Amino acid sequence: MISEPNQLFALLASVLALLFWLSTNKRLNIFFKFLPPVIWAYFIPMFLTTGGITPSSSSVYTWMADYLLPLSLFLLMITVDLPSILKLGKKALFMMLAGTLGIVIGGPVAYLIFKSYLPPDAWKGFATLSGSWIGGTANLVAIQKSVGAPDSVVGPIIVVDTVVGYGWMGVLIFLSTFQAKFDKWTKADNSAIEKANARLQEMDTTRKPTQLHDIIYILGLGFGATAIAIAIGKGLPVLGDPVIISSTTWTILIVVTMGLALSFTPLQKLEQVGASRIGFLALFLLITSIGAQANLAAVLDVPVYFLAGLVWITIHICTLMLAAKLLRAPLFFVATGSMANIGGAASAPIVASVYHPLMAPVGLLMGVSGYFLGIYAALGCAWILGQLAM
């Protein structure tokens, strides 16, 4: 097993580099057309962990989440054309809420199906998972403390959260190659996305060759903003009982706000020299660490919880599909709306960028809103689960 942090980071970076190098091979063009490098950037580390080559938990994964995520979010935010993004509006919000509804319904249904095979306090674990799947890790901790979930039920839930949640993320990345067929099925109105993309692509034509000093400016500004956001976030009070806004949540909110504010200044011109591309590099590196945390072998230890997780996520998916058909929503909104719930601000921009590279801020804004809306929906789901356990 390669567990030494520096070696582990080097391995993940090398896997990413190898994949993108192979994607430039003309003989492999057809292969990577249907399975883009970013898909393999997620699955290969997962296979490495399942095979015992890399660990499912490591300090390097924590570092990458703590620093690469805020760095990427900041760089994506300072380059965003916010007015164009906001025009996507209501349909994006409705799809995120449909995903939330699917989680609130799916949890109690899955619990009822497998209740007789689970320990009496398993409902607390399900409630904890609802927090993670409606807003991310911050809400998971909030609901865990709210219902008093013991470690004995939280342990299996973490496995389900990682394998099923990240597995669904991998499926969404794979489905990006079928956008046209899905949008035809839903009779999706893509006009808002097309207009936003056209505006963002117009900005993309002003790019200039990236010089060494440009990279230094971008990384210095990005890591500086990240360090400031982390420092301020740790110094601010934790809000809510149970916790609604943790220091991690503060960090994300601060770095996003800083980036959005600076997007109205001349710093937005850093996009002309590749600021968002460096942001995407950070995101893709983060994907490799997320994949490495999903050990497929771990599900063998908690088969009932795993099956319950599959039922739960299936109900979430069906709710989204129904909403997409009724609203004539494109697959892009289905994917970002789902990840805004299941993964929060860490995963939503990753999935959004795979579907439309210039649209990562859409997923980010949806993911951040999930922090606030999610806590109330998750508390409601926890209450329902508590009633069913009686």
- Asked whether 42 and 169 are in contact (CB, 8 A), the reply is yes
Burial call 79-103: b when 16+ CB within 10 Å, e when fewer: bbbeebbeebeebbbbbbbbbbbbb
Enter the DSSP assignment of 270: G
pLDDT, tens digit (0-9, with 9 covering 90-100), for 118-137: 888 889 989 989 988 987 66
pLDDT, tens digit (0-9, with 9 covering 90-100), for 136-179: 666 676 677 778 887 677 778 878 887 888 789 888 988 888 88
- For the chain, the distance separating the N- and C-terminal CA atoms, rounded to the nearest angstrom, is 45
- Asked whether 67 and 42 are in contact (CB, 8 A), the reply is no
**268-277, 336-345, 367-376: least confidently modelled range:** 367-376
Give the 3-state secondary structure of residue 84. Answer: helix
Q: For the chain, which residues make up each domain, given as ranges? A: 5-388
User: What residues have CB less than 8 Å from 239, skipping those under 6 apart?
Assistant: 245
User: What residues have CB less than 8 Å from 128, skipping those under 6 apart?
Assistant: 140, 143, 144, 147, 149, 153, 154, 157
Give the 3-state secondary structure of residue 239. Answer: strand
Name the band, by pLDDT with cuts 50, 70 and 90, for residue 14: very high
pLDDT at 50: 87
Q: Rounded to two decimals, what is the model's pTM?
A: 0.72
Give the 3-state secondary structure of residue 269. Answer: helix
Q: What is the dihedral of CA 86, 90, 95, 101, to 10 degrees?
A: 120
pLDDT, tens digit (0-9, with 9 covering 90-100), for 209-227: 889 999 999 999 999 999 9
